[in-house]
Amino acid sequence: MLTTTRPRATPVPPPCPDRACHSDVHGFLWKDTTYLRNDPDNWRWYCPRCGQHWMPTSEQFLSHRTFPAV
């Protein structure tokens, strides 16, 4: 039996909570890691369309966490 393993896909970021930003591709949030310092969970969502920062939910922290390369 042939089995394959797929690499884990990166989850797609959510759309901006502001409905006015949903009109184009720029309404999807980006992971802003400007203020990480020594805390890998010190990131926020950023909307390039409206310029707002949003706090991720605990589920989003887990699913979008970037582990350090070994």
pLDDT value of position 36? 77
pLDDT value of position 3? 58
Query: Per the confidence metrics, is the pTM higher than 0.85?
Result: no
pLDDT value of position 60? 87
The amino acid present at 18, given as its one-letter code, is D
Please give the Cα distance from 40 to 31 (Å, whole number): 12
pLDDT value of position 53? 92
- The sign one gets for the Cα dihedral 14, 29, 65, 59 is negative
pLDDT value of position 45? 92
pLDDT value of position 46? 93
Residue ranges, the chain, pLDDT below 50: none
